């Protein structure tokens, strides 16, 4: 599922590499590299899986970069779509 993939790319990786003290989620004072995607239309009853599927499941792999509006590396913004 999309939610499992997101978990595996974040917290599970930090767990496996024993880096949970410094990485893996958005807690204060942790290093984080992440992208901000353009917000889709969300309904109150939508679940995380449905939102991720709608955002990513209908986009061809080579076009996924078009969804990125901002990129952060070690907590610093390194890219912002103009």
The pLDDT > 70 percentage for the chain reads 100
Taking residues 17-23, report their average pLDDT. Answer: 92
Residue 10 has pLDDT above 80, yes or no: yes
- Helices 48-56 and 2-9: crossing angle in degrees, nearest 10, is 90
**pLDDT score of 59:** 81
pTM for the whole thing?
Answer: 0.69
Residue 40: pLDDT over 90:
no
* pLDDT at residue 39, rounded to an integer: 83
What is the Cα–Cα distance from 75 to 82, expressed in whole angstroms?
Answer: 20
Task: Report DSSP letters for 18-50, one per residue.
Answer: T-TTTSSS--TT----EEEEPPPP--TT--HHH
What would the two tokens of residue 15 be? 């767990």
DSSP 8-state symbol, 59: S
Residues 14-32, mean pLDDT to the nearest whole number: 90
């Amino acid at each position: 599922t999309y939610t499992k993939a997101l978990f595996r790319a974040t917290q599970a990786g930090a767990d496996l590499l024993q880096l949970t003290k410094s990485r893996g989620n958005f807690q204060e004072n942790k290093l984080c590299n992440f992208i901000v995607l353009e917000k889709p239309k969300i309904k109150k009853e939508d679940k995380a899986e449905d939102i991720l599927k709608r955002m990513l499941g209908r986009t061809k792999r080579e076009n996924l970069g078009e969804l990125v509006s901002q990129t952060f590396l070690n907590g610093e913004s390194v890219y912002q779509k103009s």
